Amino acid sequence: MPKLATWLREKDEKWFQLFFDKHPEIEIGNARAGEISLAKADGLLLTGGADVAPEFLKQPVPDPSVLDPDVDVARDRWEFAALDRAFARGLPVLAICKGMQLLNVALGGTLKLDIPGHKLPEQKDHDIQPLRSDTRATHQFEKVNSSHHQAVDRLGTRLEVESWCASDDIIEQIRLRDYPFALGVQYHPERGKIYDSLFKDFFSRLTNNR
């Protein structure tokens, strides 16, 4: 049985469970609930959460007050280590929202620490933010449900932009060049009904990776 490693907050479980239920052949290991074996994992899912803790950032933080007060250092430490292990083994990686930002930081990139206009209540659950996408991107969506107050700034090593906000060019989707599958999305596919193809692609790679 393919194994997926992740760190999933309790309040997010209901959203992801809808997609997990469509793939009962995959065993989910949630590091928040207990220790899991990364050596036996077939893929890594990085999900949303509080801002990356400042001690892991590759940049100065002029105004610490813009950061979430409830950063989770233990989670960040686990996710950075898990990402290193996944890359070393060529495992598929899907990084969502905060996960995309962590992916960028892990590869030496920086973040816009506080941006306006991207965390309105209606943006989280409705596909209303228009995107523009590179024609080579496998997964392209005209509008997405993106809600966040930070964003990718300088890209990490070998990361490429696949999609960006049509109104202000904020990066919304990135991929790791010359790697089997490492995709970061700033939006929340787990909360939408148009993203089945993205999850199906990711989960199929876990099965093929065995």
| Size of the chain, expressed as the number of residues it contains | 210
- As a whole number of angstroms, the distance between CA 207 and CA 205 comes to 5
Burial of 27 (0-12, 13-18, 19+ CB in 10 A): middle
Paired tokens of 203: 């989960």
**Distance from the first to the final alpha carbon of the chain:** 9
State the Cα–Cα distance between residues 202 and 185, nearest whole angstrom.
13
Distance CA 193, CA 42 (A): 25
Q: How far apart are CA 64 and CA 12, in angstroms?
A: 26
Identity of the amino acid at 1 = M
Contact 13, 48 (CB under 8 A): no
| Residues catalogued as catalytic | 97, 188, 190
